[in-house]
Homo-oligomer: A and B are copies of this chain.
Amino acid sequence: MTPYEQLEKRFKRLSALGEAEAVLHWDMSAIMPRGGAEARAEQLAELKAVQHGLMTAPEMADLFNDAGEAGMDDWQPANLREMKRRWIKATALSEDLVVALSKACSVCETIWRTARAEADFAAVAPSLTEVLGLTRQAAQAKAEAQDLSLYDALLDDYEPDGRAADIDPVFDTLEEFLPDFLGSVLDAQASRPAPILPEGPFPEATQKALGIQFMEALGFDFDHGRLDISLHPFCGGTPDDVRITTRYDEADFTSSLMGVLHETGHALYERGLPKAWRGQPVGEALGMSIHESQSLLVEMQVCRSDGFLSYAAPLMRAAFDGSGAAWQADNLYRLYTRIKPDFIRVDADEVTYPAHVILRYRLERALIDGDMEVPDIPAAWNEGMQRMLGLTPPSDREGCLQDLHWYDGAWGYFPTYTLGAMTAAQLFAAAKTDEPLIEPGIAEGNFKPLFAWLRSHVHSQGSLLSAKDLLVEATGKPLDPEVFKAHLTTRYLA
């Protein structure tokens, strides 16, 4: 075997172990009995340790040194690039730092749960300071290994080749646009009838059957996936066995159903990844912004559209045997596009969501770069919320304590949510231009034209290109905030 072939074999093993880990994670979140937690943590830790050992084994440096690109298939240089990215990241941190960071995050997460419940930021601040300090150290080590700035070194873990220098102008544009736009949207909304929430109860089994009906219509293949329940909905499993979860509220089916459609977008991306490159880094999903673009394209661009809801409303009404104005497509459209500035990110609509993300992005950059320290967070948070959404959280529980991310060490993740929303808008706009059958298809429940386009321009690409290059290939230009602005303007002010 050539050095490159040896690397492929090694990464295939790493992929299989990573898939095993993914199934165990899904199991833990969806169906594991409580008493299995301790042993499961042990299983996952040992699996991680084995993977780390395989990745950082002494022979790896030689293999990377000796792996030449001569005679490679056209996708293999990109595979070698992605292998190397992972290997550099894995070897950049000392084992001591990895262990210290992992422990600090575990401790901080535990304290955070109580601190959030009691709205007591001071209680978690020392522990968060510890996490931040170790995260800065990790960023420093990764930045040196990859020749990146501190923040970019963290961002790169979630968004390969993502750079703050590309994000800044995009977020600046949004930040300037949104406050006035939000005012206009709220005025316009006030002039329309208030949406009516359909009245339940909505039995769980019926909600599940309806979710499955829409999943199948979108193209989800239950021979290669499942729908289950978990406290925090997610898309897990593996490309050939994609498992999404939701939770049901028998008083309101609308939120769970839209959550199912969102996760279906993630799932169809995983299913559409190139089979020929399965088990290799280049065959995996590209990064968080593209992943989120696929869920948000399905949720925000497609399923909250009037076209989709004109198709879906009669099916919803029939499933729950509903009657009256609440079940009209126009009411459901107003319900699913209602804008309401709020303190909580995960409950936010698509107009106010970017404000939550931009705030967190500004703060985490300053914190990583050392321009701000942990005790400064609450005041800076509340000032940003007031400036962007005109709200001041009643306490830190609804403010800087609401998200797990920082407390659990996930720094550099937040921007990918809004990059994903904007990418979704840009991909959908290009798809509709390329393929005129997409929009009429959606209104009839025929999603084949849409997914044919997504398969060919996004899913089948794996990690061949960077997110930026993929977007240029698929839409003719890099991320352009004007497309997202146009989408919002058309939907909310037209």
Contact = CB atoms under 8 A, between A and B. Distances in A.
A43 B20 contact: yes
Contacts of A32: 241
Interface string A297-323: 000000000000000000000000000
Q: Which of A19, A20, A42 has the most CB of B within 10 A?
A: A20
A54 to B, nearest CB: 8
Contact of A23 (B16, B24, B221, B240): B24
Nearest to A47: B20
Interface in A1-55: 12-13, 16-17, 19-20, 23-24, 27, 31-36, 38-40, 42-43, 45-47, 49-50
Contacts of A387: none
A39 B241 contact: yes
Interface of A is mostly: helix
Interface in A35-77: 35-36, 38-40, 42-43, 45-47, 49-50
A42 B27 contact: no
Given A17-B46, A24-B23, A40 B279 contact: no
Interface string A233-255: 00001111100000000000000
A226 interface: yes
Contacts of A38: 240
Contacts of A27: 23, 27
Nearest to A32: B241
Q: Assign chain A's interface to a size class.
A: 35 or more
A225 interface: yes
A177 interface: no
A79 to B, nearest CB: 18
A221 B34 CA distance: 11
A237 B39 CA distance: 11
A223 B35 contact: yes
A224 interface: yes
A39 B223 contact: no
B36 A240 contact: yes
A366 B32 CA distance: 45
B224 A16 contact: no
B13 A49 contact: yes
8 contacts: A16-B43, A17-B43, A20-B46, A23-B43, A35-B224, A35-B225, A36-B224, A39-B238
Closest 8 CB pairs of A and B: A36-B241, A35-B224, A16-B46, A35-B223, A39-B240, A20-B43, A16-B43, A13-B46
